[in-house]
A = this chain, B = another copy of it.
Amino acid sequence: MSNKKKIIIVGGVAGGATAAARLRRLNEQDEIILVERGEYISFANCGLPYYIGGVITNRNKLLVQTVAGMSRRFKLDIRNLSEVTEIHRDRKSVSIRNLQTGEVYEETYDKLILSPGANPIVPNWPGVNEAEALFTLRNIPDTDRIKSYLDTNQPKHAVVIGGGFIGVEMIENLVERGVSVTLVEMANQVMTPLDIEMAAIVQSHMKSHGVEMIFQDAVEKLSDNGKKVKLASGKELSADMIILAIGVQPENKLAVQAGLAVGVRGAIQVNEYLQTEDPDIYAIGDAIEVVDYINGQPTVVPLAWGANRQGRIVADRINGQDVKFGGVLGTAIAKVFDLTVATTGNNEKTLKRLELPYQAIHIHPNSHAGYYPGAAVISLKLLFEPVSGKIYGAQAIAANGADKRIDVIATAIKGGLTVYDLPDLELAYAPPYSSAKDPVNMAGYVASNIVDGLVEIVQWHEIDEIVSKGELLIDVRDAAERENGFIPGSINIPLNDLRDRLDEVPMDRTIYVSCQVGLRGYLAARILTEHGYTVKNVDGGYRTYAAAFASRKA
């Protein structure tokens, strides 16, 4: 008890608040000072869009901990409306400005924890400073501003710039309030952790809820006090309000001023113990660079789980425990109207960029037994190493059951399991919850069959070119199913007739087969392979193909 420590934490939300509470639980004597620039600590960032949308009606519910409550319970010295303006590493102190009085004073530390977060990016477009109803969303005052604007001005139309997770959540909540929305997104899809054919499913769904989406276009300037948005394409949009959600940049000012190294997107660099270059200065949360758990590359993942985990680990380290932060999968999830969209690990774009060998599968199982009411189709994409079966990542979209399967796969990855292990996962089955073969089991079976060489596949984006070269694609669905669409150039031999019609299938070339979701195509591929053919199945079937191209046209 004699070596009482003095610890200063910069930033009182998520990671900072977690660190403070754990520090106190581990040590009753230490002096713990929590400095927060804003009025509020430990608020529910992730709930803000839903308060704006009216789903959460009680503003107080957003305030997870109050300054008074947390101070008392955890014996903390919380200084809100105070900003750390400078770090003096030589004398182990910080300068703190009281934002209410303007007073600046110095406070020494034994350990310093930087948890400053990240700031919404605001480009310097012409007219951006004159825009009267342009908002970013990061904290409680932002939220109050947006909500008050909506309540008072009853805007009819909003332009949301940026189609990431926050942009999409804001779109949903604006639409819930009766505001029509146009999304402007520089990329060719929403929610970049998804691959394009998966994003296409989300985009079709957003479109069905009346959202207008403009891709591969950028804002050139704002005019008329932000009532007009001119795009690089020349398009001009009118806007009663603008939500700017093009991303965040790590808040690194203090770290840079203190001469500490920053990396990807300016994020503060830390070692596996979350120490900066100065071993007495830790950094956590949205401001830091982390290691990608799958590919080992440095990255930035400004999400709540990491901030909380890191806050705990730093408190443990400072109190002598041997714990490390092991990197991030980037598991993420969002509700998009009636859909759940969830991802974990690396997507195909990332694997391609890093030139890692991979295989992708798309399956469409039911969220639970099809005969029990309420089952939804889960569009599930799994990425894995083609020889070892190592799991790289997964993406799932469904009206229900997507979160569970992504959580199971994220757990499997952390457990070092391969696609061969997924069929052995003994998941809870009764008709309201799953099938005797859970979707994750199914993904494992499909992936194992590929690793084992039982079937070869081609992807949705390859098949048009293959068919245009004159290759034979057999659609093995029943004739009636083709009335709702089919891959151009395919011929039809229903699966159940295939054995009787083998004389129609030439032996001298690769045969391509497809069906609705990939399952009957696989059966057809097995029959043909066993009869000596070289066969490839269209992965994910017509469903994946059609969804992807619906997006391209959108």
Binding site for B on A (CB under 8 A): 14, 25-29, 44, 46-47, 50, 55-56, 58, 61-62, 72-73, 75, 165, 169, 293, 303-309, 312, 321, 326, 328-335, 340, 342, 344, 369-373, 403-404, 406-408, 410-412, 414-417, 421, 423-434, 436-438, 441, 445, 452, 454, 495-496, 499, 522-523, 526-527, 530-531
The complex places the Cα of A325 from the Cα of B369 at a distance, in Å, of: 24
**Are the CB atoms of A28 and B417 closer together than 8 Å?**
no
**Are the CB atoms of B369 and A428 closer together than 8 Å?**
no
The complex places the Cα of A80 from the Cα of B193 at a distance, in Å, of: 50
**Are the CB atoms of A335 and B429 closer together than 8 Å?**
no
**Are the CB atoms of B427 and A410 closer together than 8 Å?**
yes
**Are the CB atoms of A414 and B407 closer together than 8 Å?**
no
**Are the CB atoms of B407 and A303 closer together than 8 Å?**
no
List 11 A–B pairs whose Cβ atoms lie within 8 Å, in order of A's numbering.
Answer: A25-B454, A46-B369, A304-B436, A305-B437, A306-B426, A309-B423, A312-B445, A342-B428, A407-B425, A414-B424, A415-B416
The residue on B at minimum CB distance from A55 is B373
Add 16 more A-B contacts to A47-B369, A411-B412 (CB < 8 A): A26-B526, A62-B371, A73-B523, A305-B426, A305-B436, A305-B437, A328-B426, A333-B428, A333-B430, A340-B432, A404-B407, A408-B408, A412-B414, A414-B421, A414-B426, A415-B415
Contacts of A415 in B (CB 8 A): 411-412, 414-417, 421
Determine which residue in A329, A344, A372, A421 has the highest number of CB atoms from chain B within 10 A of its CB, and name it.
A372
The complex places the Cα of A89 from the Cα of B430 at a distance, in Å, of: 37
Q: Contacts A407-B404, A530-B28: A429 and B305 contacting too (C-beta < 8 A)?
A: yes
- In order of increasing CB-CB distance, the 9 nearest A-B pairs are A415-B415, A28-B530, A333-B428, A61-B371, A304-B436, A411-B411, A404-B404, A331-B426, A25-B526
**Are the CB atoms of A55 and B372 closer together than 8 Å?**
yes
**Are the CB atoms of A430 and B305 closer together than 8 Å?**
no
Contacts of A499 in B (CB 8 A): 75
Nearest CB of B to A130, in Å: 34
The complex places the Cα of A56 from the Cα of B374 at a distance, in Å, of: 11
**Are the CB atoms of B47 and A431 closer together than 8 Å?**
yes
**Are the CB atoms of A371 and B73 closer together than 8 Å?**
no
**Copies of this chain:** 2
The complex places the Cα of A423 from the Cα of B445 at a distance, in Å, of: 29
Contacts of A56 in B (CB 8 A): 371-373, 431
Determine which residue in A416, A425, A454 has the highest number of CB atoms from chain B within 10 A of its CB, and name it.
A425
**Are the CB atoms of B426 and A344 closer together than 8 Å?**
yes
The residue on B at minimum CB distance from A428 is B333
Q: Please pick, from B25, B433, B495, the residue contacting A403 in the complex, using a CB distance under 8 A.
A: B433
Nearest CB of B to A423, in Å: 7
The complex places the Cα of A496 from the Cα of B72 at a distance, in Å, of: 6
Contacts of A50 in B (CB 8 A): 372, 431
Nearest CB of B to A184, in Å: 23
The residue on B at minimum CB distance from A48 is B431
The complex places the Cα of A431 from the Cα of B369 at a distance, in Å, of: 27
Nearest CB of B to A312, in Å: 7
Q: Please pick, from B27, B44, B410, the residue contacting A371 in the complex, using a CB distance under 8 A.
A: B44
Contacts of A423 in B (CB 8 A): 309, 312
**Are the CB atoms of B527 and A28 closer together than 8 Å?**
yes
The complex places the Cα of A438 from the Cα of B305 at a distance, in Å, of: 9
Q: Contacts A411-B411, A414-B425: A436 and B308 contacting too (C-beta < 8 A)?
A: yes
The residue on B at minimum CB distance from A293 is B426
Determine which residue in A28, A61, A312 has the highest number of CB atoms from chain B within 10 A of its CB, and name it.
A28
**Are the CB atoms of A414 and B417 closer together than 8 Å?**
yes
**Are the CB atoms of B46 and A424 closer together than 8 Å?**
no
The complex places the Cα of A50 from the Cα of B372 at a distance, in Å, of: 8
The complex places the Cα of A369 from the Cα of B55 at a distance, in Å, of: 13
The complex places the Cα of A426 from the Cα of B293 at a distance, in Å, of: 11
Q: Please pick, from B169, B411, B454, the residue contacting A425 in the complex, using a CB distance under 8 A.
A: B411
**Are the CB atoms of B495 and A73 closer together than 8 Å?**
yes
Q: Contacts A305-B429, A340-B433, A434-B403: A371 and B47 contacting too (C-beta < 8 A)?
A: yes
The complex places the Cα of A415 from the Cα of B416 at a distance, in Å, of: 7
Q: Please pick, from B335, B430, B496, the residue contacting A46 in the complex, using a CB distance under 8 A.
A: B430
The complex places the Cα of A27 from the Cα of B454 at a distance, in Å, of: 11
Nearest CB of B to A63, in Å: 9
The residue on B at minimum CB distance from A74 is B523
